[in-house]
Chain A
Amino acid sequence: MSEVANSRPLLRATGVTKIFPGTVALDHVDFTLQPAEVHALLGENGAGKSTLIKCLTGAYRRDDGDILLNGEPVDPRGTLDAQSYGIGTVYQEVNLLPNLSVAENLFLGHQPTRFGMISGREMTRRARETLSQYGLDIDPARSLGDFSVAVQQVIAIARAVNLSGKVLILDEPTASLDSGEVKMLFDIIRSLRDRGIGIIFISHFLDQVFEISDRVTVLRNGRLIGTEDAANIDRVQLVNMMLGRELEHETRETGKTDLAPGAPWLEFDDFGKKGRIAPFDLKIRPGEVVGMAGLLGSGRTETAETLFGAVTHDSGTARSRGEEIELRSPRDAVAAGFGFCPEDRKIDGIIADLSVRENIILALQARIGWARPVPRRRQAEMAEDFIRRLDIRTSDAEKPVGLLSGGNQQKVLLARWLATNPKFLILDEPTRGIDVGAHAEIIHLIEELCAEGMSLLVISSELDELVAYSHRVIVVRDRHHVAELVGADITTDNMVDAIASAHNGSAT
């Protein structure tokens, strides 16, 4: 063990146990955090990572176990309490409060006051100061809800950093950040670590874990598997610890070339929307996977939304099997056999109080009309089928989705769109927040679906993943489709070049 491990732990939890009806989420888990270390907490979706940190901060009452902070037993009774011990947290599902201003979100509960009154000017000044450390130049007086999810995530992190005198806990903080923002976050984490703060970091991006962590702790099914120095362990060993099995790893250097040349069935000509995405041409063949690469904000999501009618296009036409079709609203798109699993699943997807089964059936039922309910037996069969195929970790299909772990909620949303059996499915970041094991399974599923003749448009920031399943990749930059790579030309290097290169004309 490294020398930090020998000093007195900053935070030591022993025998932490948490039981939910039907699930033992944590089973006598031990965890120690040293001062000045970044400690990654890893495990599959539903392993108990979020539950562990919620027990540490008192957001959940633990059923058993002790927590020592600097050797003193502590028992935080909630986030407020945890904050007063110097523990700042970004919870996985936290979205902050969109109705409050940015400054209020940053300082809620700790606003600077003078004579008992909040000093708005001082608060704005400090907010600006804090935000500038993160390279954000925004007006702190504006409502948080006016900003993108990525900006909100940065603000949530900034808030937690401000509140963490001793311990900073980040539960999947990087899920909606681009690489520049991740780099900035990591610089901040390193400087906090150098000041002696202990940081708990949860992520499914193993590259990030290796980049930033000093030690890793792995949980599986609510049990502690082990704690290791990050320097003494490699990726394969780590995946083994997480999954309890080898991940058969099929690496692929270039995109797929196995598609039988067929006529495109979907054709978009000069399709676009002013101010969102420049007009583009797009042809989709049956069974084809079209990947879409580009930076955050480059126009990937805008393309998807325009295709699906979520934003009505103002130029161009769409044809399906040679016939012109209307695509003015999602309703038209669904009628034409389209499906769309959006990126921002927290906001427009999950209905937390409905069961897994009801959530899966929702889009299908909406498509065939509420007057003709899907028979209950059929619903149960479909739910069971998707729970198995996507490896959704739930005690049963009737559990409210809100009680599933974050990653498993995302799988349910994916299942919802797959259940409608669309002919053309658009997936925006389908594997974000999903563990390495399930990741492989989703790629597998994508391949299966294509073999059945479904066409897919997949947006992803993970270039390896695009290489693994795409027949064709479209690169988007500055709201233009700037390049198209086919088959053997699809390599990570080529995509990076296309994303980075200067504007070279020809919109695809």
Chain B
Amino acid sequence: MNSRFLPLLATVAIFILAYAVCYAQFPAMLSTRVIGNLFTDNAFLGIIAVGMTFVIISGGIDLSVGSVIAFSGVFISVMLRDTGLHPIPVFAVLLLITTLFGAAMGATIHFLEMPAFIVTLAGMFLARGMAYVLSIDSVPITHDFYSAIQSFYWLMPGKGRLTFIGGLMLVVFIAGMLVAHRTRFGTNVYALGGGTHTAQLMGVPVARTTIAIYALSGFLAGLSGIVFSIYTSAGYSLATVGVELDAIAAVVIGGTLLTGGSGFIAGTLIGVLIMGLIQIYIIFDGTLSSWWTKIVVGMLLFAFIVLQKGLVWFTGRNRASAAGTS
């Protein structure tokens, strides 16, 4: 068995276990209705988590995504309110802005040799600040196009609703998997995570790849902003504070190594679903404080980091005994 898949298997096992526990207590949780809600409620988180997975696999981090979602919501609502444009061109402009914003951060990280942590922290403040500049108040969105999208869904067997944004998240995950595993760009991302210097000597276009990774994360943050505005019908500069940390948590619970070089997009999807499941459990229970979500997520994170350390240690020893030379 390839040890690379172990964290992914652990994630799947935890998800099945968690679902079994939920089902044992609340049999109603095993319905497509709950699953539909799981997708809809976590669509915006899932989309940025895909971008975050790429960033973390490459050995970086992107702290700006939460702020970019807030900026996107405010940008869309203000544009719709003040210009009377149709949402589609507004979306296009927004995605262009956030993609360029990500690309600029990637370029700074690569060319100025600055830690991703610092650069994207600056990006986080910048994006949040821009949102405030556009509007301090929550701006409601009322547009026929929005109502149309919101009422659009696919009825799953069992009366569950797969909404537009839930479906979009799934599409993003599938596209992400294809890019990660079936394109040269995807392999280059893993290569960067394995070691920038070695990757460079092997002929990986390090500059181009780094910029593209953060541009992708920026694009997906913009897309997530659109999804979030559809989900809430408003733009608010104080929204989605700390969501970047939720995304990082989902990625790590999904089995991606925080140090880079190893991980799976599919794992991230399950990571997002595990986090959503905990929330639903708390809602079903009704007596627990929602802070329990944070506590359980914290414990899971800790467990995963220990698991990964253990794996690294274990495979290291295994290698020494299986393939040791002379």
Contact = CB atoms under 8 A, between A and B. Distances in A.
Interface of A: 59, 78-80, 82-83, 89, 91, 94-100, 104-105, 108-109, 111, 113, 116-118, 120, 141-143, 145-151, 159, 163, 176, 178, 275-276, 294-302, 305, 311, 343, 428-429, 459, 461
B320 interface: yes
A301 B184 contact: no
A92 to B, nearest CB: 10
Contact of B323 (A59, A91, A109, A148): A148
Interface string B179-218: 0011110111011011100111111110000000000000
A384 to B, nearest CB: 30
Contacts of A275: 321
B326 A459 contact: yes
Contacts of B184: 109, 111, 113, 118
B83 interface: no
A96 B202 contact: yes
Contact of A141 (B2, B188, B194): B2
Contacts of A117: 178, 182-183
Contact of A151 (B199, B323, B326): B323
Nearest first, the 8 A-B pairs at minimum CB distance are A97-B194, A99-B261, A80-B203, A148-B323, A79-B203, A99-B194, A117-B182, A296-B326
Given A97-B195, A142-B2, A163-B203, 14 more contacts: A95-B198, A100-B190, A105-B202, A117-B183, A141-B2, A143-B4, A146-B3, A146-B323, A149-B325, A296-B325, A299-B326, A302-B324, A305-B320, A461-B326
Contact of B183 (A118, A299, A300): A118
Interface in B270-326: 315, 319-326
B38 to A, nearest CB: 30
A99 B190 contact: yes
B224 interface: no
A148 B322 CA distance: 9
A7 to B, nearest CB: 29
Instruction: Among A79, A105, A120, find the residue whose CB has the most chain B CB atoms closer than 10 A.
Output: A79
B195 A108 contact: no
Contacts of B183: 116-118
8 contacts: A97-B190, A100-B194, A108-B188, A118-B186, A146-B3, A146-B322, A148-B323, A297-B324
Given A113-B184, A142-B2, A79 B200 contact: yes
A311 B320 contact: yes
Nearest to B261: A99
B262 interface: yes
B198 A96 contact: yes
The prevalent SS among residues of B at the interface is: helix
Given A148-B323, A297-B326, A78 B203 contact: yes
A339 B187 CA distance: 41
B202 A109 contact: yes
B189 to A, nearest CB: 11
B52 to A, nearest CB: 18
A361 to B, nearest CB: 26
A79 B202 contact: yes
Contact of B326 (A78, A100, A294): A294
B324 A148 contact: yes
Interface of B: 2-4, 178, 181-184, 186-188, 190-191, 193-195, 198-205, 261-262, 315, 319-326
A300 B198 contact: no
B202 A343 contact: no
B323 A108 contact: no
Nearest to B260: A99
A294 B39 CA distance: 61
Contacts of B315: 145-146
Contacts of B319: 145-147
A108 B324 contact: no
A105 B187 CA distance: 10
A176 to B, nearest CB: 8
A94 B261 contact: no
Contacts of A79: 200-203
Nearest to B195: A97
A116 B175 CA distance: 13
Contacts of B182: 117-118, 120
B87 to A, nearest CB: 30
Contacts of A98: 194
B325 A301 contact: yes
A143 B2 contact: yes
A238 B178 CA distance: 55
Given A148-B324, A296-B325, A108 B203 contact: yes
B202 A94 contact: yes
Contacts of A118: 181-184, 186-187
A166 to B, nearest CB: 16
Contacts of B201: 59, 79, 89, 91, 94
Nearest to A304: B326
Nearest to A459: B326
Nearest to A150: B325
A278 to B, nearest CB: 15
A349 to B, nearest CB: 15
Contacts of A89: 201
B198 A94 contact: yes
A142 B204 CA distance: 21
B178 A148 contact: no
B237 to A, nearest CB: 39
A301 B198 contact: no
Contacts of A159: 202
Contact of A99 (B178, B193, B320, B325): B193
Contacts of B2: 141-143
A89 B200 CA distance: 12
A211 B323 CA distance: 30
Contacts of B325: 148-150, 176, 296-297, 301, 343
Contacts of B204: 80, 108-109
A83 B326 contact: no
A301 B194 contact: no
Contact of B324 (A78, A82, A276, A461): A276
Given A80-B205, A99-B193, A146-B319, A295 B326 contact: yes
A83 to B, nearest CB: 5
A98 B191 CA distance: 9
Contact of B199 (A97, A163, A459, A461): A97
Given A78-B200, A109-B184, A97 B191 contact: yes
Contact of B198 (A83, A97, A120): A97
Given A97-B198, A100-B190, A113-B184, A147 B323 contact: yes
Given A117-B183, A142-B2, A276-B321, A108 B326 contact: no
